[in-house]
Structure 1
Amino acid sequence: MKKIKTKWNLNLFYKSANDTQIKKDIEKIKKAFIFFEKKYIKKDDYLKKEDKLFQALLDYENLIKLDTDKPLLYFHYRKDLDGKDQEAEANLNKLINELTKYENKILFFLLKIGKIEKKFQKKFLSGKKLRKYNYFLEKIFEMSKYDLAEKEEKIINLKNMPSHSMWVSGVQRTLSKQNVKFRGKEISIGEAQNKVSGLNTIERRALQDKVLEKIKEISSFAESEINAIVLNKKIDDELRGFKNPYSATILGYENNEKSILDFANIVTKHFYISNRFYNLKKKILKLDYMRYADRGARIGKTTKKISFKEAYEILKSIFKSIDKEYADILDNMLKKGQIDAYPKIGKSDGAYASSSVNTPTMVLLNQTDDFKSLMTFAHEMGHAIHSELSKKNQIEIYTHYSISAAETASTFFEQAVFDAIFEKLNNKEKIVALHDKIQGDIDTIFRQIAEFNFEIELHNSIRQKGALSSEEIGSMLNKHMKMYLGPAFKLKELDGYFFIRWSHIRNFFYVYTYAYGQIISKIMYDRFKKNNNFGKQIKKFLSAGGSKSPDDIFKDIGIDTARHNFFKEGLISIEKDINKLEKVYSA
């Protein structure tokens, strides 16, 4: 490709906030939801007759095809390109409130399906006519055990913003206004945190302490926020009948609760692997002990500069070697302006891939023309390819895959790119690259499970005691972090206040999905390396969307997550990488 686009083309959605098409789309959505409500609100025949249920589900699927996310995503993307875009923020908040009211109009439909008599449930699940909706119905029947009455469900939906979202955004906005002084200049705590890992030991620890001291100043606000949103979840769980604070999340991500708890326990028992890595890192950094600030410290840089165009060419070549369609998806997204590559003032930090039923898949990056940026590009394109193939091969109801399968796709492509590039690096660069790869595995698997364990204790403690102080929350966080970090670290009380900035704990218990997906991806990639024909099975997984549970999708391609010691295979591969790092470092 001679010329590649490096900025989002949001005209793929709308021309501007005043585009008349936005109003037309919203009116079309409203009319469709009102029509659906009128057609089915008083009907019950689809609850007993297979052909009637089939037609009702077709009509419901047509609602999904309308893609209510399109106007929301347009303003969301604008806001991510410019955090000060007040027009986008105002329109986004307005539309969320407006469209939620209309989505509430069809709440009755899935609630009524969930209450179908058991004898008819069995009949429908075994019937040929409803075969393509089989898994969709299974999920509804399973979730219906925790459904409330329609009016109560509407209340739950409407109260989410004031009882959770506004608390969280309030703390985030307050954090965004906090600055610290660094080398004589005032910088935001977000910028400061991004600088920490690249500084020398003295500056790194000093700047981390400044950030923590600053965020500690709002600890009373964050304390109220955490207690409020956790108690709100407790209320929701008790109303629905969920026994444990993590039960709703695991069910929502279509995993088996016992299996996930067993999985978390296996990872916890292998914390000695992350302990071992940090002992080696301490040695590489030539430190007597490590502080929390040293956790993600860089041990060096890969000096090779990789421009975005070069990164694209590398990815295209590697993707094409696995399956030509993956390279075609990359090309198509760049041609149309679906990848925003470079950082700029006001742009959201980090990187992500985002997709909805009938909207373009969009990728946001913050390219810095280095090896790490290349890995991030590969990771996010893994998500994008997963989304594109799911939309291509599945009906609308199944285009969204479970988040517990999402990380498997992204890290598979990341590993493929890493392996292709690694041998081209010199010895010093290999040490840095391999260290960074292992660091990523430690963060994604062991750190996330340590956080999962922390969340369990946090929720249970607040449920039992009614509230916790910020000091208690910080102490609890330190306890769980120390378990995966190991004896190489000396943590201070101040380190525990990082809970104020850790956004993951506001999205209850979802972090296990990172570890789950990462380990499966490592096993999947290992099989691909041994036999490239396994690539066909990988494409089958990438095309499955949400048509089955993640465990069943993996089982279909020969990966049995229920097999004894399955997850240990992935953990052992990290140990092998640590062995490799020790050898390269000693060479």
Structure 2
Amino acid sequence: MGDIALKKRSEVPAEYKWKLEDMFETDEQWEKEVEQTLLLIDEVSQFKGHLADNEIKFLKFLELEDRINYHLARIIVYSNQRSHEDTAVSKYQAYASRAESVMVKAASALSFADPEILAMSEENIEEFCKAESKLLHYKWAIEKIRRKKAHTLSQAEENILAQVKEVTSAPDNIFSMFNNADVKFPYITDVEGNKIRITHGNFIDFLMSKDRSLRKQVFREVYGTYKKWGNTISATYISQLKNDQFLANVRKYGSAREMYLSKGNIPQSVYDNLIETVHAHLPALHEYMSLRKKMLGVEHLHMYDLFVPIVSDVDMKYSFDEAKDTVARALLPMGEEYTSILEDGMESGWIDVYENENKRSGAYSWGAYGTHPYVLLNYQDNLDGIFTLAHEMGHAMHTYFSNRTQSVTYADYSIFVAEVASTCNESLLMHYLLENCADENQKKYLVCHYLDGFRTTLFRQAQLAEFEHIAHERIAAGEALTKESLNQIWYDLNVLYYGPDMKVDEEIAYEWMRIPHFYTPYYVYQYSTGYSAAVAFSKMIIEDGKPAVDKYINNFLCGGCSKDPIDLLKSAGVDMSTPKPVDDALNVFEDYLKKLEITV
């Protein structure tokens, strides 16, 4: 659908728009809240240098910080979501910019707190908690700050590191400018004779084309472009690796990985377990590649054959009403309370459904404490559309239960668990669709969709995680990394992961160069662990029913960040400190692979 056919925001029927007035009835109310928040931020200065004075002062500061965070979230979410409805409205661009400056002002005003809390003695904090029982509520939040004590430097050194941050964030900024603004891919001619420029946005669409020569051409052009920039990108990434090593050394961590995982108190064994368990199941991925080769009927399977659908002529269409109904029925195993909140949310202004002129692309779930969550979609009537709805409503329900149960102090869940609830919903939806599908070709299509989900999330993100860990380890060992050695690491991993039936094209050696996540170090592994936990939960929910559902909702969805992420998941029945969830998830992959093999 071209832009001409897109409706203006004002033309979209109200039932397909989210109700941001549930947060602020008018823009004037938002402006008023900004002013109130700035007054609260001004109050912070009276506490600087005085947190250790007495328990009342300490408590009043922590309560003020909670109030600021509460209002800040409302200001940021409302202004950004208004801006996302129609990115051309300058009023809301200005609102979002103003919200950001308020956030920066708050962060700056509150920056003294952690060093002061770290300077307090254990005895001092214990005495304060005995004298003022309301401080017990903050005990866990304080403990999380105090974990950093061994890695926190003197005030002068911390000040230097804060100033260095602008320098150490340079690789990320340089890559981002290069990848989003500077790099240009060539034009290609499609099957209809149209000249189209390859972009980040249409690259995968081209790789899904049935025209193999087109796929090959696009693949070669994209990676040929990165090859030309190889020296620049390698120098940028090696700088990132050296920054990580520098910060880990200065902060007295054993490694960059230990430093990054310590933020969620994640044991390093979780990372190692993931890689080792994925390696143990690589024969199944090799088998899937062999099957893909057979179903495509090609003599050699190439890296540009990974995205083209191997079951064709399936057109699964769902109107938005059908999608809502299907998702609600698929999630019935979650119990009456969950499904009634879900259905209510889908009907009462949580979701912004369709694309309109200048609306932000993609999909997300977001919300501020004290109001219901919101979901932005650009709904299309296809299989991806229904899975996106299930996914984003999973996030929304996680936020809903977390906010309902936890105080503002502990409502925000950590990145490590962020994708679990959303992917668990997708898994339950897939189970439902397969159980209720009579058409054999559609069933095959669904199974392939599921297997590809495993390949692109669990296997691929583990492969990316393995690459960045090898690169970090080599820097730590004092080895000189080069463009050639990074290319070789990535190429060898592709040979290892995809197996003997894949002809690993030489261009794939440059693929690591296009991955922005490498500039957020030790992040991607969480996609694989989250996916594994989600598959484990969905299996327990289907097999064990109510007891599993109760644990999942009460101990996990309602948990926020009231415990470390590993402990939260463990209390709900999935122990990510062991290899079992990853192993179990990959066994599910193997079961579905067998189902597909039988039909071919």
TM category, shorter: 0.7 to 0.9
Shift of 1:413: 1.0
AA aligned opposite 1:238:
N
Contact persistence 2:51–2:117 (CA under 8 A): no
Quick one: structure 1 residues 355 and 250, their matched pair in 2 at CA, closer, same or farther if it must change by over 3 Å?
Answer: farther
2:179 is matched with which residue? 172
Unaligned runs of 5+ in 1: none
Contact persistence 2:151–2:251 (CA under 8 A): yes
**Secondary structure class of the residue paired with 1:398:** coil
Q: Structure 2 matches for 1:541-560, cutoff 5 A?
A: 541-560=556-575
Cα distance between partner residues in 1 of 2:182 and 2:24? 32
Cα distance between partner residues in 1 of 2:181 and 2:397? 36
2:516 is matched with which residue? 503
Cα distance between partner residues in 2 of 1:74 and 1:304? 35
Alignment partner of 1:312 out of 315, 319, 324? 324
Task: Give me the TM-score of the superposition, normalised by structure 2.
Answer: 0.85
1:569 is matched with which residue? 584
Shift of 1:77: 4.2
**Secondary structure class of the residue paired with 2:574:** coil
Cα distance between partner residues in 1 of 2:110 and 2:434? 52
Larger mean CA deviation between 458-467 and 285-294 belongs to 458-467
Cα distance between partner residues in 1 of 2:136 and 2:58? 12
Quick one: structure 1 residues 370 and 43, their matched pair in 2 at CA, closer, same or farther if it must change by over 3 Å?
Answer: closer
1:140 aligns with 2:150: no
Cα distance between partner residues in 2 of 1:316 and 1:481? 39
2:258 is matched with which residue? 247
Alignment partner of 2:70 out of 58, 65, 72? 65
Shift of 1:582: 1.3
Contact persistence 1:438–1:578 (CA under 8 A): yes
2:499 is matched with which residue? 486
Cα distance between partner residues in 1 of 2:377 and 2:175? 24
Larger mean CA deviation between 167-176 and 206-215 belongs to 167-176
AA aligned opposite 2:544:
N
AA aligned opposite 2:63:
L
AA aligned opposite 1:292:
M
Shift of 1:363: 2.2
Quick one: structure 1 residues 256 and 111, their matched pair in 2 at CA, closer, same or farther if it must change by over 3 Å?
Answer: same
Larger mean CA deviation between 132-141 and 68-77 belongs to 68-77
Cα distance between partner residues in 2 of 1:415 and 1:351? 18
1:268 is matched with which residue? 279
Alignment partner of 1:198 out of 200, 203, 208? 208
1:44 is matched with which residue? 52
AA aligned opposite 1:36:
V
Contact persistence 1:389–1:542 (CA under 8 A): yes
Contact persistence 1:180–1:210 (CA under 8 A): no
Superimposed CA distance per residue, residues 455-495 of structure 1 (whole angstroms, 9 cap, x where no aligned partner)? 11223344566874444433322222332222222223322
Shift of 1:360: 5.0
**Secondary structure class of the residue paired with 2:450:** helix
Cα distance between partner residues in 2 of 1:220 and 1:14? 50
Cα distance between partner residues in 1 of 2:359 and 2:243? 32
Larger mean CA deviation between 469-478 and 480-489 belongs to 469-478
2:551 is matched with which residue? 537
Unaligned runs of 5+ in 2: 1-12
1:581 is matched with which residue? 596
2:196 is matched with which residue? 186
Superimposed CA distance per residue, residues 266-316 of structure 1 (whole angstroms, 9 cap, x where no aligned partner)? 223332232222222222222233222222321135422111221012122
Cα distance between partner residues in 2 of 1:287 and 1:126? 73
AA aligned opposite 1:375:
F
Quick one: structure 1 residues 120 and 386, their matched pair in 2 at CA, closer, same or farther if it must change by over 3 Å?
Answer: same
Quick one: structure 1 residues 32 and 155, their matched pair in 2 at CA, closer, same or farther if it must change by over 3 Å?
Answer: farther
Cα distance between partner residues in 2 of 1:504 and 1:449? 13
Alignment partner of 1:35 out of 40, 43, 48? 43
AA aligned opposite 2:38:
K
Shift of 1:15: 9.2
Shift of 1:555: 2.7
Shift of 1:374: 1.1
Cα distance between partner residues in 1 of 2:153 and 2:255? 18
1:380 is matched with which residue? 392
Alignment partner of 1:341 out of 353, 357, 363? 353
Q: Structure 2 matches for 1:390-539, cutoff 5 A?
A: 390-425=402-437, 426-462=439-475, 468-533=481-546, 534-539=548-553
Superimposed CA distance per residue, residues 91-111 of structure 1 (whole angstroms, 9 cap, x where no aligned partner)? 756754563243122122122
Larger mean CA deviation between 500-509 and 36-45 belongs to 36-45
Larger mean CA deviation between 312-321 and 531-540 belongs to 312-321
Superimposed CA distance per residue, residues 171-210 of structure 1 (whole angstroms, 9 cap, x where no aligned partner)? 2322575453242322341233131342123222222222
**Secondary structure class of the residue paired with 1:181:** strand
AA aligned opposite 1:99:
M
Contact persistence 1:264–1:512 (CA under 8 A): no
Cα distance between partner residues in 2 of 1:564 and 1:473? 28
Contact persistence 2:152–2:251 (CA under 8 A): yes
| Count of matched residue pairs | 577
Quick one: structure 1 residues 429 and 565, their matched pair in 2 at CA, closer, same or farther if it must change by over 3 Å?
Answer: same
**Secondary structure class of the residue paired with 1:397:** coil
Larger mean CA deviation between 345-354 and 308-317 belongs to 345-354
**Secondary structure class of the residue paired with 1:353:** strand
Shift of 1:392: 0.9
2:121 is matched with which residue? 117
Question: How much is the aligned-residue C-alpha RMSD, in angstroms?
Answer: 3.3
Contact persistence 1:104–1:154 (CA under 8 A): no
Larger mean CA deviation between 19-28 and 31-40 belongs to 19-28
Quick one: structure 1 residues 349 and 448, their matched pair in 2 at CA, closer, same or farther if it must change by over 3 Å?
Answer: farther
Alignment partner of 1:361 out of 360, 373, 383? 373
AA aligned opposite 1:136:
A
Larger mean CA deviation between 519-528 and 297-306 belongs to 297-306
Shift of 1:427: 0.7
Quick one: structure 1 residues 229 and 355, their matched pair in 2 at CA, closer, same or farther if it must change by over 3 Å?
Answer: farther
**Secondary structure class of the residue paired with 1:299:** coil
Shift of 1:219: 3.8
Cα distance between partner residues in 2 of 1:35 and 1:459? 43
Shift of 1:522: 1.7
Shift of 1:389: 0.8
Larger mean CA deviation between 355-364 and 473-482 belongs to 355-364
1:232 aligns with 2:240: no
Cα distance between partner residues in 2 of 1:232 and 1:87? 39
Quick one: structure 1 residues 10 and 202, their matched pair in 2 at CA, closer, same or farther if it must change by over 3 Å?
Answer: farther
Shift of 1:137: 2.4
